[in-house]
Structures are given as structure tokens and as C-alpha cells.
Amino acid sequence: MTHFNEEGASLARVSSADRREAIIHAALRVIQREGVHGATTRAIVAEADMPLASFHYAFRSRDEMISELIAFVVENEGRAAIATLNGDRDIRSAVRAGLQAYFDTLTADPSREQAMFELLHYALRTDELSALPRAQYRMYRRTAGEVLDAGAEVAGATWRLPLDQVASLLVTFISGLTLAWLADRDDDAAALAMDFAADSIAALAEPRPGHVTAPSATTAPHSPQ
């Protein structure tokens, strides 16, 4: 990484996209470590090893940066879920695999999702950020819709309800799963919840006409150890 001893020259050597990405990564690390209140612009650019001016070159405001940070996290989670899909899955197993992919990212880095919850709660208490919670959940629903659409395509299925309604239900399941696991770290309970969610979401799908459905991959009830 370039060290910014000569501010103007250093800024010129870093593209706008690279600067924005570095700041987003740094902001996420600061929020994970110190919470939202610790994520001042000065703390973020110090984490990114950049001068303060670089933040204002990259973003119009801290709120804009937070919105992009949320989009970055949500889109990465969506890509992880889509990567699990293949042509051998029925819709139930596709949904379950996507949930497991999300859960694996959660357990690998719990502080990331804690940071997302903290951003949400901070915005709910801050008048200037009143639009952010709605925007955050729009991103969640949009990404869930992309995953569900891809899963239905792979499984040869269609949704009985509008896709945005199914996506909203899936996001509700995931929000509860996340908060419960962060509270108790109970993997067995999480597996039961994901099985139930996969069964419930899959019940909202039906095979496309003429499509030969893959054998059902419905699992037996999960038994806690």
C-alpha cells in the first residue's frame, strides 16, 4: 500500500475505485473492533493508512460511505450463496445450501454481522440516518431475490408468490437466525431453523411445466448432540 507522506502525489497514484474500496474495508474493520461510534472519519482513514483528504475525495459524506459498506457486505453474502447452486439441486436443497453458505460466513466472522446490526440500530436512533434502515433491508431483499431467482432457475421451478414477497420472507428468516445465533452460538438450533426455513420457502415453489424435478433432498429433523 502507498504511504501518504506527500498527500497530493499519493492521492494521484490511487484510483478513485481503489480508494473507495480501501476505505470501505477499513471502515468495516473499525466498526467490528470499536463499534459505530468509534468509526469516525479520522479513525477510518488512519486504519486505511490514508490522509483525511482521501476520504472526501472518495465519498461525499460518512453516510454515503456507510451505505456503500452495507452494499459491499450484502453483495458478498449473496455471491457466496449463489456459488452453491448447481443443476443437481431441487429447490429445497438449493435454498438450504444458500442458507448454509450464509451461515458459514456468519460463523467465520461473527463480528461482521454484529457490525451490520449495530449500523442498523445506530441508524434507527439517528434522525439524519432515518432512511438507512429501509435502504439496508432493500439491499437484503434485492440480494435474497437474486439468490432465489437463481435457485429457481437451477431447480427448474417457479415461485407461487411474487419474488419480492418470497425474498422478504427469506430475509425475515435470516435476520432471526443471525440474531439468535449471535446471542447463543447454538449451531444445532441454527441448523433446525435453516431446515425449517428451507422447507417453508420451498413450499412456495412449484416445478416449471415440462421440467423433470430432481429427487427431493429434504433432510430428516436435525437432532441436537
Is 117 in the same domain as 34?
no
Residue 45 lies in a domain: yes
Statement to judge: residues 100 and 148 lie in one domain: yes
Statement: residue 8 has pLDDT above 60: no
Residue 162, domain CATH: 1.10.357.10
- In a 3-state reduction of DSSP, which class is residue 206? strand
Q: Is residue 142 part of a domain?
A: yes
Burial class (CB in 10 A: 0-12, 13-18, 19+), 78: buried
> Is 116 in the same domain as 195?
yes
Task: Please check whether residue 216 lies inside any domain of the structure.
Answer: no
Final residue before a domain boundary, out of 36, 59, 82: 59
Lowest mean pLDDT among 4-13, 68-77, 196-205: 4-13
Is there a single domain that holds both residue 106 and residue 32? no
Is residue 43 domain-shared with residue 82, that is, in the same domain?
Answer: no
Asked, for residue 189, whether it belongs to a domain, the answer is yes
Residues 14 and 26 in one domain: yes
One-letter amino acid of 195: D
Give the model confidence (pLDDT) of 97-117 as tens digits.
999 999 999 999 999 999 989
Q: How many residues in total does the chain contain?
A: 225
d(Cα 180, Cα 140) in Å, to the nearest integer? 18
Residue 214 lies in a domain: no
Q: Do 33 and 123 sit in the same domain of this protein?
A: no
Q: Could you tell me the CATH number of the domain that includes residue 53? A: 1.10.10
Cα separation, 199 vs 91, whole angstroms:
10
Q: Is residue 215 included in any domain, yes or no?
A: no
Same domain, 41 and 76: no
Residues 124 and 24 in one domain: no
Average pLDDT over the chain, rounded to an integer: 86
Total count of domains within the chain: 2
Same domain flag for 55 and 78: no
**Containing structural domain, residue 6:** 1-59
Q: Which of 29, 59, 89 is the last residue of a domain?
A: 59
Q: What is the pLDDT of residues 78-102, one digit of tens each?
A: 888 888 887 678 999 999 999 999 9
Of 8 and 66, more confident = 66
Distance CA 17, CA 127 (A): 30
- For residue 67, tell me if it sits in a domain: yes
On whether both 14 and 120 belong to a single domain, the answer is no
pLDDT of residue 184: 98
pLDDT of 5 strictly over 80: no
Span 199-220, average pLDDT = 74
- Residue that terminates a domain, selected from 40, 59, 78: 59
Task: Give pTM, 2 decimals.
Answer: 0.78
Tell me if 27 sits within 8 A of 20, measured CB to CB: no
Query: Looking at the structure, do residues 87 and 130 belong to the same domain, yes or no?
Result: yes
